[in-house]
Amino acid sequence: MATPITVSPLARPLPDLATVPGVRLSAIAAGIRYAGRTDLMLAEFVPGTIAAGVYTKNQCPGAPIEWCREALKTPTARALLVNAGNANVFTGRAGRQTVEDCATALAAQLSCPKDEIFLASTGVIGEVLPPERIINALPAAQAGLSDAHWAQAARAIMTTDTFPKAARRDITISGTPVRIQGIAKGSGMIAPDMATMLAYVVTDASLPQDVLQTLLTRFCQKSFNAITVDSDTSTSDMLMAFATQQAPHAAITDADAPALESFRTALQEILQELALLVVRDGEGATKQIRIDVTSAVSDISAHKIALSVANSPLVKTAIAGEDANWGRVVMAVGKSGEPADRDLLAIAMGGVWIAKEGSVVTDYDETPVVAHMKGQDIDITVDLGLGTGTATVWTCDLTHGYIDINGSYRS
């Protein structure tokens, strides 16, 4: 049996999940790396389902990433196949052949073109992924398909995750009920520039690919590209959305169409909710941290400064130790390389302004800040006093648990 894991103290339970018309899922044990647990997830979509995707910017991507980028040139999707335990990264020709073989086998099983098959792998880098373990499991995966297996699918794609992650919204488009539901995995090797993990969102909305892709890319920026656990951008990760076209609402041709207002809000909320669940499951995390940067010279500059604070080991370890060491925040702002003026800078923690105009606030009382640092949700605000740029980034603290997990990841 699999070794029991300690669930993150920041964990959230799965929400009430429901069926999404046009998709069925299964989760089985293919024996890829883990014993006593499922490690292969299959999602089957009705013909005509539209796909959109955002993929990692890591320059050493896995073979599945290269396959999906190419497959996305065809707008339709019939299946998504995800394995956990082996990332199929840095495996050369063997890795590409595994992807080709698995896609070909699944396409034959579903009687569809292989470029309608999307694949993902997550786990250890540098080990050849035997295609026969996946291919041999495909008949059982297809036999186990059900429109109710969302929770099982969320668990099957986990690696160092300590809890499954999902989100759901029900809205309307032009008066027609529409559902959006998604799952994600991610715990470590989490940093912006998409992706940061694996995340899959399915809706029964009837949307063309350009509309779906536009919205996914737009909302990715303030969700998955606004979180960081350890500043490391994975080689394998992706965010994908699938629209099964089953909801009979009026045709949509513009991502900014008024009829899509509630859909846009719901999609943005789901992506942010999934992204924050990844932060809450950061390897060894005990606290979630929100960094708000205001009055920077631009939004881009504010984002870079927020990331500098979020990725600072000194800031993250101070918060792990419940130390309101605002000097480390000043350091992280200054090292970002972005415009900053020491004599205009202001720092707040837990809504309490600690430093303004280059020095500690007169009569500063640390008592409420100390109390805030003992909680699980930490807020840091940085005001540059230079312009109108703003950004928000989420991260987690850095504890010895991160070393424990990553020091023994391959064993």
Q: Which residues are annotated as a binding site for substrate?
A: 159, 185, 196, 283, 406, 411
- The answer to whether 103 and 117 have CB atoms below 8 angstroms apart is yes
Question: Exposure string (b/e) for 16-44, b if CB count within 10 Å is 16 or more?
Answer: ebebbebbbbbbbebebbbeeebbbbbbb
Phi-psi sector, 394: left (phi>0), alpha (psi -120 to 50), beta = beta
Q: Identify the DSSP state of 298.
A: S
Phi-psi sector, 230: left (phi>0), alpha (psi -120 to 50), beta = alpha
N-term to C-term CA, the chain:
15
3-state secondary structure 192-256: CCCCCCEEEEEECCCCCHHHHHHHHHHHHCCCHHHECCCCCCCCCCEEEEEECCCCCCCCCCCCC
Name the one residue in this structure whose structure tokens are 């669930």: 7
Q: Rounded to an integer, what distance in angstroms lies between the CA atom of residue 168 and that of residue 329?
A: 35
H or E element in which residue 92 lies: helix 92-110
- The answer to whether 168 and 28 have CB atoms below 8 angstroms apart is no
Q: How far is CA 255 from the centre of its chain?
A: 22
Q: Rounded to an integer, what distance in angstroms lies between the CA atom of residue 205 and that of residue 186?
A: 26
Phi-psi sector, 363: left (phi>0), alpha (psi -120 to 50), beta = left
Q: What residues act catalytically?
A: 196
**Helix ranges restricted to H, 340-388:** 367-373
